[in-house]
Amino acid sequence: MTQELEYRALLAVDIERSAGRGNVALRQIREVLRTALCAAFEQGGIDWSACVHDDLGDGMRVTAPAGLPKSRLIHPLIHELAVHLRAHNRNAGPRAAVRVRVALHAGEVYAGAPGAITGGPLEILARMLDAPPLRTALADASTGVSTALLVSQHFYDETVRHGYPGIDPDTFRKVTFTTKEHTADAWLHLAPNASFPQQPPKDDRGTGAAPGQSKMVNKASGHGIVYATQNGTQHIRVES
């Protein structure tokens, strides 16, 4: 039977620093994530059972039903997910705490037998979930931040920039990232109710990073450019 392409919204989520916790802890934090996701979908009015779920080991990929407005995957879903995880983390030790990276994209995929979703947009979603700016944003955020979100340029253009109810475009920051062979623009957001940390000013010695470091360039919401260096090989350009 010939498969037809269907336009679908796609969400992927991964638990930060899940490795090394052991099987018992991993099982527990996976259950915490699933419970929080189910609650967030329900509170967002999205039928969890109508979605396609793929287990990513320490995370999950969710393909939304055809025709679902993409805005519903941001508001109230991301806020509700972040609040549920933050509530859990208040009483959780380091081995049980759950902070997550989330990627949102949309595109035409093949929807075959139940649970069989394939297509190029899934590859892009996977690259986004592993994007260095997304990892760095969550690692550098305060402990009160439970969720770092990265939306594709396509998702931003069609949904975020319009400022639909509950979605504030000013809380998103543009980045450019490269993961494996994929280079793209995307937009970062921290939840719940978080702003991006201030970066230190440019080094007087110029714009070059110290040996063994990479350079982050942030365009602040006011005037001027803010430079910072971090360990690693990532190259990030952030625009408001």
On whether the CB atoms of residues 229 and 214 are closer than 8 A, the answer is: yes
DSSP H helices, the chain, are 23-43, 77-90, 120-129, 132-140, 153-158
Q: Which residues in the chain belong to E strands, given as ranges?
A: 5-15, 52-55, 59-63, 100-111, 117-118, 147-152, 173-179, 182-191, 213-219, 225-231, 236-238
pLDDT of residue 197: 62
pLDDT of residue 1: 52
**Single-letter amino acid code for the residue at 192:** P
pLDDT of residue 153: 98
pLDDT of residue 195: 73
Q: Could you tell me the residue ranges of all domains in the chain?
A: 5-197, 198-240
The CATH code for residues 5-197 is 3.30.70.1230
**Single-letter amino acid code for the residue at 170:** D
Query: How far is it, in rounded angstroms, from Cα 36 to Cα 89?
Result: 12
On whether the CB atoms of residues 185 and 174 are closer than 8 A, the answer is: yes
On whether the CB atoms of residues 191 and 82 are closer than 8 A, the answer is: yes
Whole-prediction pTM: 0.81
On whether the CB atoms of residues 131 and 182 are closer than 8 A, the answer is: no
Q: Which residue in 104, 103, 106 sits closest to 67, CA to CA? A: 106
Positions in the chain whose pLDDT score sits under 70: 1-2, 113-115, 197-240
β-partners of residue 177 are 184
Judged on CB neighbours under 10 Å (0-12, 13-18, 19+), 231 is exposed
